[in-house]
A = this chain, B = another copy of it.
């Protein structure tokens, strides 16, 4: 096991990317992207595609919760799960440093539009000032 590289330099919230590293957990987040859902519905949705037990899903939800990627709310005997922006924002934040500020194809435009970003900056980044300042 890797001697974890300490807290600070690793950035991001604790365990966010570890949690995202599992396909079942990513699928759960995709299901929750449409809005709050009870655990049972998530189990059922997953079971339409793969054979997985209820406890397995419950365990995955716990990992997501510990990572700050989802939050829970009790309603009667149901547990309503929803995406927690704290975790997803942490992940996006960490990835933001790799954003290719210039010379990015149409992909970037699509992303910008999807984000509804109202960037008014029309000026392109100055040639000599390209990213990465080591100092």
Number of interface residues of A (CB under 8 A): 64
Decide yes or no whether A107 CB sits under 8 A from chain B.
yes
User: In whole angstroms, how far apart are the Cα atoms of A97 and B30 in the complex?
Assistant: 9
Number of copies: 2
Note all chain B residues with C-beta closer than 8 A to A129. Answer: 129-130
Give 1 or 0 for each of A74-112: 1 = CB within 8 Å of chain B CB: 000000000101001101111111111101101100110
The distance from the CB of A121 to the nearest CB of chain B, in whole angstroms, is 7
Q: Tell whether, in the assembled complex, residue B132 and residue A111 are in contact, meaning their CB atoms are under 8 Å apart.
A: no
Given A5-B50, A34-B134, residue A98 in contact with residue B110 (CB < 8 A): no
Does A11 lie within 8 Å of B26, measured CB to CB? Answer: yes
Q: Which residue in chain B gives the minimum CB-CB distance to A32?
A: B98
Bound-state CA distance A91–B61 (Å) is 21
Are A5 and B34 neighbours in the complex by a CB distance under 8 Å?
no
> Which of A30-62 touch B at CB < 8 Å?
30, 33-35, 49-52
